[in-house]
Amino acid sequence: MKRKLRPKILTTMKHYSKEQFIKDVTAGVIVAIIALPLSIALAIASGVSPEQGIHTAIIAGFIISLLGGSRVQIGGPTGAFMVIVFGVVTTYGIEGLILATIMAGAMLILMGLFRLGSIIKYMPYPIVTGFTSGIALIIFSSQIKDFFGLTIETVPVEFLGKWSVYFESFQTLNLATTGIGLLAILIIIFWPKVNKKIPGALIALIVTATIVKFTGLEVATIGTKFGELSSALPTFSMPEITLEKLQLLLAPAFSIAMLGAIESLLSAVVADGMIGGKHNSNMELIAQGVANMTTGLFGGIPATGAIARTAANVKNGGRTPVAGIVHAITLLLIMLLFMPLAKMIPLSSLGAVLIIVAYNMSEWREFRSLLKAPKSDIIVLLATFFLTVLVDLTVAIGMGIILAAFLFIKRMAEVSHVKLSDMDASEQDDDYDNFNFEEENSRFQTKAGIQVYEINGPFFFGAADQFLEALNAIGAKTKVLIIRMRHVTAIDATALHAFKRMIKMCERQKIEINITGINEQPLKALIKSGLYDRIGEQHFYETIEEAVSKIG
């Protein structure tokens, strides 16, 4: 039964209490404090202004919580988008990014309306791990210049080119900048031992900004790169839309939509496990789509469900979308009151924040454990990882899915097989998995001219070729053909075509066809294709014993 497309806020408010409201407000404020440095850092690393990161966290965070299909999902800019956003900004400019974000939002809405949420959740785990680890490596690589204070005019977009320039420019390393970055990393790592409520990233930014401000260290800050930061609210702006632009931005928009869908639904699944809930994946996709279209119209960047912020929300008592709404409102107040102070934050400290983000994203333990998986999974993992790092995220996901699909087909073809035997003896029992025609105490008398085919496993295009090859073994003396299908759970168009060829061949050679033990889906497929009537209802039997007993 299809689940109704209803935002979770409508169902969670039915039994809402004052106690839960206090918990939601507390969680929302804490998550906002966590989101603040991340939103600024991700925006700068993506090639846009810090304000755009905050605007995205506010607008998308509010809409995703208000309309979403998860009780506790927190939305906003995430590290996974950084790679795509930077590439789009570099190639098509800010206006191109805004249009791509709006297009991606429309795609996400359509995914939700067409109920594709459950399909996206079936993305193979090696693909998810491969591109997540690849993105983590790219994020880490993108922060080397700011973390070490290297003097580089333009950093190449390509991974190998980027590292080549880093090695050439490493003699320009700024010790003060590096020291501030290392201090920020140490604070982020060890601060939770002091206080788990206040995020270490925020403390790191405050401490390092204070040191730089009062010591006069020559360290690049947000202010030296972007100048004064504005506390003004974002303004509505419709980008120019042309057919040419839509065609150019179709691929990056699709990448944004797919990545947003995958990450948001993975985050929702993780949250379900933490609270024992059940999210509505299609409603979540619609909310993500509306959020991205809206942020795009207000000059923001792509947003999705943020796993770390969602987990922090749950751990601090958030159990309804109210927490996410409070998080967005808190960020808005911080922006209005304190945004100009952000100009003092050192870029190396933001680099430290993203290096920690990259480490947490890398899933290196899962990556290492997958290297012990079957070879086919290792191939998918490594192909997705290296394509993400060296080529493009869209190519990586596409090739990963194609590889996984072909390897799945190969596996299914290996477990689906066809057996052929002459009815010169019989089987022990109708429930026995294999024929044993040499059994002395057979229940059936030897019958010349009867050949039996047993198809095991899904009968699909990967196994149809085996069936056609087995048909070539039909002897000249064969008068009756029994197709045993008790282990066939599904049949597709290619297998039906193979059936048609079998029927034509048997009609030419005047061989009688009988089908035994057919299951519901294959039977419906034969009926719908007209092959059931062509074979004849009287030639379908429940068991092979029944079929043999009625053959003269």
pLDDT one-digit tens code per residue, 205-221 = 999 999 999 998 999 99
Q: In angstroms, rounded to a whole number, what is the distance separating the alpha carbons of residues 370 and 372?
A: 5
Q: Which of 123-137, 252-266, 404-418 has maximum average pLDDT?
A: 252-266
Please give the pLDDT value at position 440.
33
Q: Which of 266-275, 412-421, 443-452 has maximum average pLDDT?
A: 266-275
What letter does residue 194 receive in the DSSP assignment?
Answer: T
What average pLDDT does the segment 442-457 reach? 71
502-549 pLDDT per residue, tens: 999 899 989 999 999 999 999 999 999 999 999 999 999 998 888 888
Please give the pLDDT value at position 421.
66
Residue 424 has pLDDT above 70, yes or no: no
Please report the domains of the chain, with CATH numbers, ordered by start residue.
8-363 (no CATH), 416-550 (3.30.750.24)
Smallest Cα–Cα separation from 222: which of 57, 36, 30?
36
Percent of the chain with pLDDT over 90: 60
Report the DSSP beta bridge partners of residue 480: 450, 512
Name the band, by pLDDT with cuts 50, 70 and 90, for residue 2. Answer: low
Name the band, by pLDDT with cuts 50, 70 and 90, for residue 233. Answer: very high
Note the maximum CA span of the chain: 103
Mean pLDDT rounded to a whole number for the chain: 88
270-280 pLDDT per residue, tens: 899 889 889 99
Written as one letter, the residue type at 5 is L
Residue 476 has pLDDT above 90, yes or no: no
Please give the pLDDT value at position 407.
80
Helix, strand, coil percentages for the chain (3-state, nearest 5): 65, 5, 30
Name the band, by pLDDT with cuts 50, 70 and 90, for residue 371. Answer: very high
Q: In angstroms, rounded to a whole number, what is the distance separating the alpha carbons of residues 257 and 401?
A: 16
What average pLDDT does the segment 433-447 reach? 44
Query: Which segments of 230-320 does DSSP mark as H helices, in order?
Result: 243-248, 250-275, 281-297, 307-315
Judged by average pLDDT, the poorest of 87-96, 434-443, 444-453, 521-530 is: 434-443
118-148 pLDDT per residue, tens: 777 677 888 888 888 988 898 899 999 999 9
Angle (CA) 97-306-246 rounded to 5° is 20
| pTM score | 0.77
484, 486, 492, 497 alpha-carbon torsion, rounded to 10°: 10
Q: Which of 63-67, 377-381, 402-406, 493-497 has maximum average pLDDT?
A: 63-67
Residue 340 has pLDDT above 80, yes or no: yes
Residue 175 has pLDDT above 90, yes or no: yes
Residue 404 has pLDDT above 90, yes or no: no
